[in-house]
Chain A
Amino acid sequence: MLAAPTMDTQQQKTQHAAADTPPEQPTFLREKHIQYFKRNLQMLPQPYTSQDTFRMTLGLFVLGGLELLGCLEETISEANREAWIEWIYSQQRIPSKDSPSEDNDALYGFGGPFSGLAFKDNTDGRQNLGCECDSHTTPYDTAHLTMTYTALLSLIILGDDLSRVAREPIIRSLKKLQQPDGSFIPCITDYEPDMRFVYCACAVSYILNDWSGVDKPAVLNFIRESQTYEHGVAQSPRHEAHGGTTYCAIASLGLMGGDAFLDQKTMVRQESETESAFEERRARAGFVDLEGTRRWCLQRQTTGFQGRTNKPTDTCYSFWLGGAVAAIGSFDLVNFECNRGFLMETQNKAIGGFGKWVDTFPDVLHSYMGIASLGLMGEPGIRPLEPLLNVSKRVEERLYNETVFWKK
């Protein structure tokens, strides 16, 4: 078990900064970022309206940001933590007692808060279990895989033990959301079969400690098929190699564990092994050419990282590609100085947070990703990051030790 950093008091942070950072280096404005996330926690400004259906994910960026900055508990009162746990559970879609039909599988998990279903609080002594969901009450308001993944992480960050998560219905839904080619769609009414939702399905299975909803060989096939001639991974087969989907693919392989991290290119048939046994072993390998993928990821570094060949450098790819490289154990090959230098430029000096580019207005996604990337580099004042789940190692430990699906 890895210990959480112990530099939570201002004094220690200052000492750290003084000892580690040469005077000419730009400073990571930790206090400003804390203030930035605190403001967004109270109310996200109007431009976020167009992302209303993804509010659960925006919530994770804000909570996760404060967690990485090591000040979640001191920033958020216990009463608020409890209230938000209730709010998140109120967005859970669970099977209806009246029509538990199998036809409704695929609807379950967490979703956006736009249903119009009544918020049920726990004033009558019962805890909020979510809203009963079937095709008659909520045909346009199903769960969404990304929201399920981000809701689960937010619950753990807030200190919940996941005991009210409807694991079995979620696993049943995963089965319905997986496509014949191995990809996942995010919800039954939205046909976007691609790598992003493969990752969400793997992260959900990992957090719930149950992989029975995922056909792993099909996923492996989809990931291999999506590795392009450049060796990066595309959103789906034949598309262009992309940093975000490369992270999704590599992190999915890491979460699946076992042979998924093997590399087909360097595999050699053992003398004792039959041709068919070798082929079977090859089919369990997730990488077509691991060396090529490593190189493609590192090749994306310009100062920070670009998401695709010959595209501009963008804050979020400092995490997507940094996280991908960290997952394959090669993060020490990243040029820290250049990456940090770029992030110090996209950090907003006046109001905190990070923008996509230098001089662009900050937003919660880029702010979270910028801090996550700095966390991978061991920036003082940021908790160490677990790259596969994209959350602090402290929260990862809590998953293992304090949530119902993992703790012994």
Chain B
Amino acid sequence: MAEQDNMPFYQKPEWADVVPIPQDDGPNPLVPIAYTKEYSTTMDYFRAMCKTQEKSERALDLTKIVIELSPSHYTVWYYRQQLLKELNKDLKEELEWIEWMINDHPKSYQIWHHRQVVIGRIANTLFPATSTTSTVAPITTAQATEAAVDFDTLSESQKAAVHEMVKAELDVIAESLQEDTKNYHAWSYRQWVLAHFGHGPWWVDELAYTEELIAEDVRNNSAWNQRYFVVTNGKAEGVTEEDIQREVQFAKSKIEKTPSNESPWVYLTGILRKGNHPVTEIKEFCESLLSAPRANFSPFVHSTLLDIYEVEAKEQRSAASVEKAKEEAIMLAEKVDPIRLKYWNWRKAQLQKIDVLA
């Protein structure tokens, strides 16, 4: 028994009838890869399965073996998704395997997307989707997932089931994010989970989650981006003035602690724009930071002030504002951000073009 388990799959009797198809690379191929024997033999069998489009348990097993050897293979996942459907497989089991794969290959696009497909299918069994966009026979177009869900229209029991599923998914993603808090794929999938099931109660928790991550590492820009996503997409009615004010305060408090951290600065100016507030609103805040010894060396205090004085100079055609803006550009170029000397000098030259009152 144990001996058979260690045996490569292709030496087992259930594979004896399959005629492997070797890779025909021609007499002189471009950049051949030094494949291991395990990989090339596995692929020979995979080619044989693809050719007959076999829909069987062993084909499903083989997709798993190929994926573990080459997780970024861009069509084996599609084959597997078809097989899961055709063979009516238990998708919960699939989720467990994916979680294990995510641990090993957190940076594979395909694994995260596969999870999205499977979760979409499970969700669809809870409540039949209103519409699906599929079927370009005979090759079905790969699709994001099943149609999105409108949480508000669900029954109470459906709402509870969805909420439970979303929470479980967010936990799986959070676990992966613990290993790498800036994993782009994990964050992309997290946004999909949050948005796919409509405006459920998980959005409130998500704001707290970003706060937690930012408290852990205030330079985690992915967490800041997620916060912006939650604030601007979390409510059916859209972002309110109250939200904007709260977020402005939140960003300011983080800036006061670490003024040289770019993340809260871009967040602050981004949130102001979102709320149609002019950047000049934070002039006093920035100027007050200048007297704080640490903050005075922050390039972002000075670059934000440069922006503010430039806006004032243009709006009021004020020569005094041009001068103040120039001082900031010089400060940036010469003292606090000399790596961008050429950029700040260029900005200074742009100030020259502002038409000021005599």
Contacts and interface: CB of A to CB of B under 8 A. Distances in A.
Interface of A: 40-41, 43-46, 48-55, 58-59, 62-63, 80, 83-84, 86-88, 90, 103-104, 106-107, 112-119, 121, 135-142, 144, 154, 176, 185-193, 228-230, 235-236, 238-242, 295, 298-299, 301-303, 308-311, 332-335, 338
Contact of A333 (B36, B109, B191, B343): B343
A7 B267 CA distance: 48
Contacts of B24: 116-119
Contacts, number: 217
Nearest to A295: B343
Contacts of A62: 31
A158 to B, nearest CB: 9
A326 to B, nearest CB: 14
24 contacts: A41-B31, A43-B34, A46-B34, A49-B35, A49-B36, A50-B70, A52-B33, A52-B73, A83-B27, A87-B25, A87-B29, A116-B22, A119-B27, A139-B50, A140-B50, A141-B50, A188-B136, A189-B78, A190-B77, A191-B117, A191-B144, A228-B270, A229-B273, A301-B340
Contacts of A230: 225, 266, 270
A44 B32 contact: yes
A101 B263 CA distance: 52
Nearest to A48: B33
A83 B142 contact: no
Contacts of A239: 184, 187-188, 191, 225
A313 B190 CA distance: 26
Interface in B33-51: 33-36, 39, 43-44, 47-48, 50-51
B296 interface: no
B221 A311 contact: yes
B308 to A, nearest CB: 15
A142 B274 CA distance: 42
B220 A310 contact: yes
B28 A190 contact: no
Interface of B: 21-36, 39, 43-44, 47-48, 50-51, 53, 69-79, 109-110, 113, 117, 136-139, 141-144, 182, 184, 187-188, 191, 219-222, 225, 228-229, 233, 261-263, 266-267, 269-271, 273-274, 339-343, 346
Given A45-B34, A119-B24, A308 B144 contact: no
Contact of A309 (B43, B262, B273): B262
A137 B142 CA distance: 18
B23 A114 contact: yes
A171 B43 CA distance: 30
Contacts of A154: 30
The 7 lowest CB-CB distance pairs between A and B, nearest first, are: A229-B270, A116-B47, A119-B26, A189-B78, A83-B28, A309-B221, A191-B142
Contacts of A46: 33-36
A303 B142 CA distance: 41
Given A87-B25, A141-B75, A191-B142, A335 B339 contact: yes
A297 to B, nearest CB: 10
A196 B139 CA distance: 23
B132 to A, nearest CB: 13
A86 B339 contact: no
A343 to B, nearest CB: 15
A327 to B, nearest CB: 16
